[in-house]
Amino acid sequence: MFIRIVLLSALAGAALLVGFLKTHQSDATQSEVIVNAPLVSEIDAPKVDSASKSTNAQTPKQTLEAESLENDSGDAIQDEEWESINAAFEEVADQFEESIQYPTFSFPIATPEAVTKYIPNQGAEVGAEGEGYQFNLVTEQFLVSSAEPITGSVRASGISTKSVRITLMDSGQELAVIDVELVRGQVPFSFPPLGQSWQSDALLVVATIEHDKQELTVSSPIQKMDMSPSSSELHTASDSYVDGPWLRIPVSVSIKQEGYYRFEANLYSASTGQPLLHLLDEQEFSIGKSDFILSAHASALKKMRDEGDYLLKDLWLEQTPSPPDFENKPGIISTRSMRVTGFPFSEYSEEAYVDPEAQARLEFLQSISN
Amino acid sequence: MKKLCLVFTLLFSVAYADVGGKNVILIHGFNPFHLINNPTDNGKKDADNYWNGINSEFLKSSGASNIIHWPSHKRLVGSGGIISIVKPQIDQLLNENYCANKCVIVTHSTGDLVARYLLKNKNSIFGGDASKFKVAAVIDLAGAGGGTELANYGVGIANGVNFAGSVISGLLDFAGFNISLGLDVGVLNDLQTSVARNHATNGFPSIPHLRVAGTGDELYGFATHPLIKGSDDSVVPLHSACGAIYASSYKSCSRDTRVDGKVTFVSKAPRTSELYDFHYPIVMSETLAHNVMQTGATGNNMTSVRSLESLYKQESNSISVNIDDFEKREWWDFFTKYRYIRDAKNHSVTTVIVEKIVR
């Protein structure tokens, strides 16, 4: 009887151990840094929703508790893991502080890396992945003029072969092929301008690599940016000026077809090169010469702590879609950057930006709660 | 007396959809069968069936339909394209002052891309009526606005790219038919990751997109999961459903919550600065598959991302969101903390939205 009890206990213990190992093994194969985290820490923020009817037992503001915690290896959480957890929550707080005070057409760029969000005409990475390997292709641009080279890059990890074949295809026909060698897992590629041999609207860029006796193939499209005839052409920025709480940046444009146009650009510090604000203006223009007026709010410039001078870069001009053809038509931009004069913050007025939509939302919520 | 009767008649004769006190517009997703059987009604009948099982709060029972229809064999833009077909339907709703008090747009899958394009280009598309098209929020179910690798493969096959057999069979399982060389794949072109992300680049209006993302299995999921980057719902990758700016390989929409609700750090997830502006993936589910999101199907646990819910409340809060969730320590995972939306398993996604989220 005693032996049976001992045996049963041993079996139970073994089952528990197997369960423990299984949990950690499945997490490990996902290649995540998984850390057991306690309660969620949330932002310390002013209450906006006075009509809240939450039945949550949890309060909105909680702090991370210093329970005895382990990561999936069964070790105590290391300092860097705690930093990662806290950093995830701090990011949310930073995001909040930036977003609600600024107009969307004068939007602070949270981090230098976040400028990627605001760079127009980018290719998106496409890839194949499996157990222990990845293979990715990205074109530098999505819209490409037939007079421009077609560029991009491929990267791979966990694949022993280094040779990649890159093909341009137009409706099933190969237009051009190059073979490139991966160096430390990545390599750029470039095709010379296709000119008139580019017939269709879109081409496919196809990348192929051999892995484990099979071919991995991925493809990504590029579209022809037909500039002739274009409905708009950007010229240059006129002298910027302070207008109350705003830095106004007039940028001249020639319009050949009346309609709605949008101009977007990123404002960079001329001294440090740091991206500061995403700026945008949208107007309805008649045929002839007109001005976009990019407007940077002083609060956004102060947030980024830069009085200028500045550079406008990542420029994008387009006629926005309207009946009957509902097409976006890119405009001609012959310059990559424009210099913008800055002004001391003391020259701006102190008016905060008030989003009339946000104000309406707040008043609506207040009327409901009353 | 006559005037009083008229007032009552007017008040009660028009039944509007209602989510968070706002009228609803529904925009559906991709229908692969349109590619081989082009609908003659621009997809209207299929659109009406698409939302079968949706919570009745989302449906409008009189006047112009709030179910927007569009055919999948068309491209998003261009003369005769999807936007040209969708615009007059929204015009009809605007003529009823349907969005006078702001609408909520609910999208599924490719509907995300359609809605983003409409809202970003609202002024030029609607002209003088743009001011009538007031939108409080968009709720994106399995949003495909960031594209899906399945579309890259589908377009490639139709254009003669020589993919492996697993790709061809995966697309066959997904679409239900062989994509052949020369087939016009319509909106699949727009769902390629580069194309989708250039249709809806940043610089959005400040309209919040509340997003629901899943990583569940369709019947063909075994064939499509290997073709899609990161975790996915068998059709749409998390990099799209979360609203992430990079088409990267993600395991969650949040770095503090796993898709199954485990409250833990997840490195393969976008930082908040790596989400499109005003995009809040506040609900995730490990078991929700792509074509279940908009139906009446139940049985799926769902989790909330409290950090992003909080961020939404402070940044936008255009419709009241208070997710009814709770946390518990699960004995089978060594008493680790998990977070669940209360009773989600007993309700469909859309019922969870009206009963547990937007309230």
- What is the C-alpha to C-alpha distance for residues B196 and B338, in angstroms, rounded to an integer? 34
**Number of CB pairs < 8 Å for A and B?**
262
Of A55, A60, A116, which has the smallest distance from its Cβ to B310's Cβ? Answer: A60
The answer to whether the CB of A334 falls within 8 A of the CB of A235 is: no
Geometric angle at alpha carbon A282, from A281 and A284, rounded to 5°: 140
A282 in B contact zone (CB under 8 Å) = yes
pLDDT at A71 over 90: no
Q: Look at chain B and count its residues.
A: 359
Report the range of poorest mean pLDDT among A26-30, A119-123, A132-136, B9-13: A26-30
| Nearest Cα residue to A342 out of A299, A298, A290, A303 | A298
Judging contacts by C-beta atoms under 8 Å, the chain B residues touching residue A107 are 277
Upstream peptide bond of A344 is cis (omega within 30 degrees of 0): no
Residue B3: HSE in the Cβ half-sphere, 13 Å Cα cutoff = 0
- What is the C-alpha to C-alpha distance for residues A176 and A170, in angstroms, rounded to an integer? 10
The answer to whether the CB of A190 falls within 8 A of the CB of A149 is: yes
Judging contacts by C-beta atoms under 8 Å, the chain A residues touching residue B136 are 361
The predicted structure's pLDDT at residue A47 = 29
B182 in A contact zone (CB under 8 Å) = yes
pLDDT at B213 over 90: yes
Cα dihedral sign for A134, A139, A143, A147?
negative
* Cross-strand bridge partners of residue A137: A126, A154
Selection from A116-120, A133-137, A157-161, B305-309 with the highest mean pLDDT: A133-137
| More confident position, A86 or B166 | B166
The predicted structure's pLDDT at residue A99 = 58
- What is the C-alpha to C-alpha distance for residues A363 and A368, in angstroms, rounded to an integer? 9
Give the nearest chain A residue to B199 (CA atoms): A328
The predicted structure's pLDDT at residue A101 = 75
Q: Do A278 and B333 touch (CB under 8 A)?
A: no
Six token digits for residue B350? 């859309």
Judging contacts by C-beta atoms under 8 Å, the chain B residues touching residue A155 are none
- What is the C-alpha to C-alpha distance for residues A163 and A161, in angstroms, rounded to an integer? 6
Reported as a single tens digit per residue, the pLDDT across A206-262 is 999 999 889 999 999 999 997 667 899 999 999 999 999 999 999 999 999 999 999
Torsion of CA A195, A196, A197, A201, to 10 degrees: 90
Give the nearest chain A residue to B324 (CA atoms): A56
The residue whose two tokens read 């006559």 is B2
Share of chain A above pLDDT 70, in %: 68
The residue whose two tokens read 């998003």 is B76
Cα dihedral sign for A25, A28, A30, A36?
positive
The predicted structure's pLDDT at residue A6 = 58
The answer to whether the CB of B207 falls within 8 A of the CB of B318 is: yes
The average pLDDT across A110-114 equals: 87
The overall average pLDDT reported for chain B is: 91
Q: How far is CA B199 from CA A230, A315, B204, B251, B352, in A?
A: 19, 17, 11, 25, 30
Share of chain B above pLDDT 90, in %: 75
pLDDT at A267 over 90: yes
Q: Look at chain A and count its residues.
A: 370
Judging contacts by C-beta atoms under 8 Å, the chain B residues touching residue A365 are 317, 320
Q: Do B156 and A204 touch (CB under 8 A)?
A: yes
Q: Which of residues 273-302 of B touch A (CB under 8 A)?
A: 273-274, 276-278
The answer to whether the CB of A40 falls within 8 A of the CB of B306 is: yes
Give the N- to C-terminal CA distance of chain B in Å, as an integer.
37
The residue whose two tokens read 């919570």 is B55
- What is the C-alpha to C-alpha distance for residues A159 and B249, in angstroms, rounded to an integer? 17
pTM of the entire structure? 0.85
The predicted structure's pLDDT at residue B20 = 80
The average pLDDT across A351-368 equals: 61
The complex's ipTM? 0.91
The overall average pLDDT reported for chain A is: 78
The average pLDDT across A139-151 equals: 96
Q: How far is CA A261 from CA A255, A281, A295, B125, in A?
A: 9, 8, 16, 12
Q: Which amino acid is at A17?
A: L
